[in-house]
Amino acid sequence: MSFLEENERNAVRERLREMKYPVKLVHFTQELNLEYGREARMLLEDLAEISPKLSVEIHNFLLEKENAAECGVDKVPATLICNGKDYGIRYYGLPAGYEFAALLDAILSVSGADSELSLETRRKLTQIIQPVHLEVFVTPT
User: Cα–Cα distance between 26 and 78 in angstroms, integer?
Assistant: 8
pTM of the model: 0.82
Q: What are phi and psi of 104, to 5 degrees?
A: -60, -40
pLDDT tens readout for residues 111-141:
986 667 899 998 998 999 998 888 877 665 5
pLDDT tens readout for residues 95-108:
988 889 999 999 99
User: Cα–Cα distance between 9 and 119 in angstroms, integer?
Assistant: 33
Q: What is the pLDDT of residue 70?
A: 96
CATH of segment(s) 6-126: 3.40.30.10
Query: Cα separations (Å) of 25 from 57, 102, 126?
Result: 6, 14, 27
Contact 23/107 with Cβ under 8 angstroms?
yes
Q: Which residue has the higher pLDDT, 2 or 65?
A: 65
Nearest one of 29, 38, 52, 51 to 3, comparing CA atoms:
38
Name which of 24-28, 73-77, 87-91 the model is least confident about: 87-91
pLDDT tens readout for residues 26-63:
999 998 889 889 999 999 999 999 999 999 999 999 99
